[in-house]
Amino acid sequence: MTILDKIVAHKKIEVAARKEIVSISALQARPLFDKEPVSAKAWIGSPNKSGIIAEFKRQSPSKGLINGTSRVSDVAEGYFKAGVSAMSVLTDQEFFGGTVDDLLAARSVSPVPIIRKDFIVDEYQIIEAKSIGADFILLIASCLTPAESKQYAEVARNLGMQILLEVHNQEELEAHVCDQMDLIGVNNRNLKTFDVSIENSKKLADLIPNEFVKVSESGISNIENIKELKKYGYKGFLIGENFMKTDNPSKAAKEFISQL
């Protein structure tokens, strides 16, 4: 059993339990449910914005504890002031130490598009994402069948949210790309082996149709990486650890963005 299998198995149990506690109609009654989402495509694809999607991530299965002290509201406000194009908030508790309250806290201080970063295996999580003020959601191809990713993207779209489809290889890309997606993210980290290489983004770049905003995810640690990836048409750059491993993630993001 790979770590990804473990995460998905745990997630299904967790979602089933959560549904019993908070009904879909209760989610729909939350005040943020009616908030108009901000367009991630517009913010990330804009030539006069940084393209940096800065992540709040306390821990991960591959790295263990990354940051146990920073407050999400401080980081979210700082990322916004630093000029990020979007923010990613991990809401998985078991493996990444995040919560839906982290996203709520980020939302309350930041106007940038916020992605709910989680392992979506049920429509309930998409409605929940809307209810906490998320603007776009992550769908991970390796956790879903092509029919599921398309269906979940449709659900998100009907709620006005955009979709970042995450792929790791050509097979996933070809099987899951469809009109319902908005941004395509190539994960440089293999979720099965944890190997990281930005070569993966370069390899898949030409296979991504131009109507999607291209995002490179994971293992980005310097400006050279960004310059290189831009040549391949990437507009979005998802950075977690490089900022979160410092004791002041938003200061690190600010310094990084000022060099772009």
Positions in the binding site for ligand IGP (CB under 6 A): 55, 57, 117, 140, 166, 187, 217-220, 238-242
**Which strand (E) or helix (H) includes residue 217?**
strand 213-217
Minimum CB–partner distance for residue 141 and ligand IGP (Å): 11
- What gap in Å lies between CA 88 and CA 54, rounded to an integer? 6
Residue-wise burial string across 87-105, b where 16 or more C-beta atoms lie within 10 A, e elsewhere = bbbbbbeebbbbbbebbbb
Minimum CB–partner distance for residue 140 and ligand IGP (Å): 6
Helix 249-258 × helix 72-82 angle, to 10°: 10
Minimum CB–partner distance for residue 173 and ligand IGP (Å): 15
Spatial contact of 218 and 187, defined as CB atoms under 8 Å apart: yes
**Which strand (E) or helix (H) includes residue 52?**
strand 52-56
Neighbour-count burial of 138, counting CB atoms closer than 10 A to its CB (0-12 exposed, 13-18 middle, 19+ buried): buried
Residue entry with tokens 């401080």: 74
- Comparison of 24 and 260: residue with beta carbon closer to ligand IGP: 260
Minimum CB–partner distance for residue 240 and ligand IGP (Å): 3
- What gap in Å lies between CA 131 and CA 65, rounded to an integer? 28
Active site positions, annotated: 55, 57, 117, 166, 187, 217-218
- Comparison of 57 and 58: residue with beta carbon closer to ligand IGP: 57
Residue entry with tokens 């069948």: 145
- Comparison of 33 and 91: residue with beta carbon closer to ligand IGP: 91
Q: Collapse the DSSP code of 202 into the 3-class scheme (helix H, G, I; strand E, B; otherwise coil) and give the result.
A: helix
- Comparison of 33 and 232: residue with beta carbon closer to ligand IGP: 232
Closest CA to 121 of 234, 248, 7: 7
Minimum CB–partner distance for residue 187 and ligand IGP (Å): 5
Spatial contact of 135 and 40, defined as CB atoms under 8 Å apart: yes
- Comparison of 13 and 29: residue with beta carbon closer to ligand IGP: 13
